[in-house]
Structure 1
Amino acid sequence: MEPVSIIFISCLVLGLVVGLLAGMLGIGGGLIIVPILSYLLIHFAGMTIDNVMPVAVATSLSTIIFTGLSSASAHYRLGNMNGTIVGYTGLGIAMGAVIGAQLASYMSGAWLKNIFAAFVIVIALQMLFGKQKASGNNASPIMLASIGAVTGVVCALMGIGGGALLVPALVWFNIDIRRAIGCAAFGGLIVAIFGTVSFVIAGWNVPDLPPGSVGYVFVPATLGIVATSVFTASIGAKVGQKVNTKVLKAILACLLVVVSIKMIAGLE
């Protein structure tokens, strides 16, 4: 079987898992997609650690375009989006996503791998021990744009939607949790669009990318993940109503830490 076919089929399975976890726990799929896709590309497409990370991150972001559109639409219909918050934060996210994607494309694969792993460990610890608190301070438009810019840079570097970063930051500034989640849903869509386009441009003439790549985006993997995750996300949401998600989050957080340590030690 051709390597591209093996990766595509593997991504169909990966999409099943990503969709379930996203639906049950509300986490972004990039935390799981990036390390697994990196492994697949190294072992089946002959890529090296020096060039695999931008492809894995860019491809992860491209999948968020589809899931982010669905999520943002749902929150808009529920009235969870405040125009001022979404506007200023979204502007910062768009600029940050472009900058982050460009940084990732110029950064060495080893550095990007280690930065991703370190951020995943931080997010995992937040999942285990973090609590959403308000500070008593209100965010100015400049602060909202700054929060968005930092979120956009980090998300484009990691290939994630950003809810784990954006929601706690907005809640800290006394923004209602539902509006914070709605803003994060819209922000995930923005970072996915701007980050993906930036990665496509940055990788347009890069040699030695696997067949089926558009810039740094590996289209077969995108299609495989999206094809199944859109169905299992709704199933995961229903399952999440019936199981102890705190236990599942703790297990997943521990797994993410193990995966991150493995990434730092070496993917090959």
Structure 2
Amino acid sequence: MEAFLAEYGLQIGLLLLAGVGAGLAAGLFGIGGGAVIVPVLYFLLTALGYEDTAMHVAVATSLATIILTSVRSVMAHHRRGAVDWSVIRGWAPWIMAGAVLGQIVAGYISKEGLTLIFGALLLILALQLYFGRPNWKLADDLPDGPSRSGLGGALGALSAIMGIGGGTFGVSLMTICGRPIHQAVATAAGFGVAIGLPGAVVAIINGLGREGLPPLSLGHVNLPAFVLISACTVTMAPFGAALAHKLNAALLRKLFGVLLVLVSIRMIWKTIAG
């Protein structure tokens, strides 16, 4: 036991911390936790020598964990009456279609390309978290018809490529379309299942038989990381949801935005510098 902890203790501890952070972030901001999970897994797997597959495994494993986190988070918000289920029902099919397409595309992107795409989109997300305002509004309500199909598909595709929950883009979309911030966070948290489930299935298929994967991986999904992180995210997501209704959300968004800026710059620089 001591030998096992000596060899794997740090890795397990980092995965558990990632799960705690992801769960809190999912509940607080409705972002699915992938913005935390993907960078942690990427740096950890790279340090362990799995550079060739680190980014694809990080994205895929994050998508798998988002399924449980999303369910736990959206139900916690539902108990507070903040979820608009009609939005989830209307947008989920288009988001799922986009997620499938996004992961198919991700399977053909190089490790460097996927890392740069993630880092660039994470930087945009971080800036939006810091500078964005809940009172910014471009429409009185969410679009319907072809606009909903296109936006839902794009939301699902971008989220699946990044390995993040739909809340990352969904919260911004809902607030600029006139929805209150707490309803946006609560409802967008439910987009995670529509992204994580089909995205993880495609990622598993994409990675079957690939060389250089970490031990105990099912396709691109690493099972030990999935189990450890999911255990923490499922536990912590309700606490994050409760804090979202009590704390200064604007200040928390700014602090989280600063953290994500630093992470994104580090990932982009590491990829460019080689």
CA contact (8 A) 2:91 2:152 kept: yes
Give matches, 1:1-268, under 5 Å.
6-44=10-48, 46-48=49-51, 50-75=52-77, 78=81, 80-83=83-86, 85-132=87-134, 133-136=136-139, 139-175=143-179, 180-239=184-243, 243-266=247-270
CA contact (8 A) 2:26 2:189 kept: no
For 1:210, what is the secondary structure of its paired residue? coil
**What's the offset of the Cα at 1:210?**
1.0
> In structure 2, how many angstroms separate the alpha carbons of the residues matched to 1:231 and 1:126?
28
AA of the residue aligned to 2:127: L
Taking a change above 3 Å as real, the CA distance of residues 258 and 250 of structure 1, as seen in their structure-2 partners, is: same
**What's the offset of the Cα at 1:136?**
3.7
Could you report, residue by residue, the CA deviation over 1:25-68 in whole angstroms, capped at 9, with x for unpaired residues?
44431111111111111112x211x4211100000111111111
TM-score (norm 2): 0.86
> In structure 2, how many angstroms separate the alpha carbons of the residues matched to 1:229 and 1:36?
14
AA of the residue aligned to 1:64: I
Could you report, residue by residue, the CA deviation over 1:56-114 in whole angstroms, capped at 9, with x for unpaired residues?
0000111111111123334556373343x333411111111011111111101111101
CA contact (8 A) 2:208 2:218 kept: yes
CA contact (8 A) 1:121 1:260 kept: yes
Q: How many residues align?
A: 265
> In structure 2, how many angstroms separate the alpha carbons of the residues matched to 1:137 and 1:252?
28
Could you report, residue by residue, the CA deviation over 1:203-247 in whole angstroms, capped at 9, with x for unpaired residues?
112122111101100110111111222223334445555654433
> In structure 1, how many angstroms separate the alpha carbons of the residues matched to 2:244 and 2:179?
25
> In structure 2, how many angstroms separate the alpha carbons of the residues matched to 1:232 and 1:76?
16
For 2:133, what is the secondary structure of its paired residue? coil
Taking a change above 3 Å as real, the CA distance of residues 108 and 241 of structure 1, as seen in their structure-2 partners, is: same
> Which 5+ residue runs of structure 1 have no aligned equivalent?
none
Taking a change above 3 Å as real, the CA distance of residues 33 and 243 of structure 1, as seen in their structure-2 partners, is: same
CA contact (8 A) 1:81 1:183 kept: yes
**What's the offset of the Cα at 1:265?**
1.0
CA contact (8 A) 1:134 1:172 kept: yes
> In structure 2, how many angstroms separate the alpha carbons of the residues matched to 1:204 and 1:131?
43
For 2:127, what is the secondary structure of its paired residue? helix
AA of the residue aligned to 2:41: L
**What's the offset of the Cα at 1:178?**
5.7
